[in-house]
Amino acid sequence: MSERGSTSRRRRSSSESAEHRDRATSSSESVAPEEVARSVILRQLTAGPRTRRQLADALARKGLDEDLIEQMLDRFEDLQLVDDEAFAQAWVETRHRGRGLSRRALAHELRHRGVADDTVREAVDEITPDDEFEAARRLVRARLAATKGDDPARRVRRLAGLLARKGYGAGLAMSAVREELRAESRDRQATDGLEAHLGLDVDLDVVEVDLDD
């Protein structure tokens, strides 16, 4: 193959690639901004619930006009496809019950996602102080077995640290840890007492067994 023929083919290939890019750019530029916005919003909502602010940020990254962004989000709110109140309520329900997060941690997460303060307060107020305390106790209870080998002070620190990472204050955390450790102690004492009553606390190493019976 001659060098001239090879050069000619490379030039044609380069020219065809440039034409393809030009057509793709022209096609992209011909799409109406409203259609771009609608496509972005639908893709975001298909992936999962989003707040209005999250969607606005996604649209802004596409370089869309601010007035158009607000107009499109208003339309989706009218269709109840964007609803920060519903988002906040569902978020609190799943994150509190599923992961045991405190009111403070939930409020922080919602504000970080652009939910208004009034909406955040209304959502987290569904969790009562008793709900929060019981959630903290459940978290401690689930971790007790993993800390049994620790000395008492280290055990308390680890359990309280777990609650701190979930957003619980020091006072509530220590109360929950104390309650669960007391309950564990009572259960252990009750088990020991039952074993003694049934004769199950005998040291089997000192029992003589007559193998002739």
Q: DSSP of 105-137, one letter per residue?
A: HHHHHHHHTT--HHHHHHHHTTS-HHHHHHHHH
Of 3, 25, 22, which Cα lies nearest the Cα of 14?
Answer: 22
| 167 contacts 108 by C-beta, under 8 angstroms | yes
What pLDDT was estimated at residue 61? 95
| 110 contacts 120 by C-beta, under 8 angstroms | yes
CATH topology (fold) of 83-127: Arc Repressor Mutant, subunit A (1.10.10)
Q: Does the predicted model carry a pTM greater than 0.85?
A: no
Which residue shows structure tokens 């940020």? 57
Mean pLDDT of 98-117: 97
Q: Where are the domains of the chain?
A: 33-82, 83-127, 128-197
* Longest CA pairwise span in the chain (Å): 105
Lowest mean pLDDT among 19-23, 128-132, 174-178: 19-23
Lowest mean pLDDT among 64-73, 90-99, 120-129, 193-202: 193-202
- CA 167, CA 162: separation in Å to the nearest integer? 9
Reported as a single tens digit per residue, the pLDDT across 18-37 is 444 444 444 445 789 999 99
Reported as a single tens digit per residue, the pLDDT across 135-173 is 999 999 999 999 988 999 999 999 999 999 999 999 999
Mean pLDDT of 64-90: 96
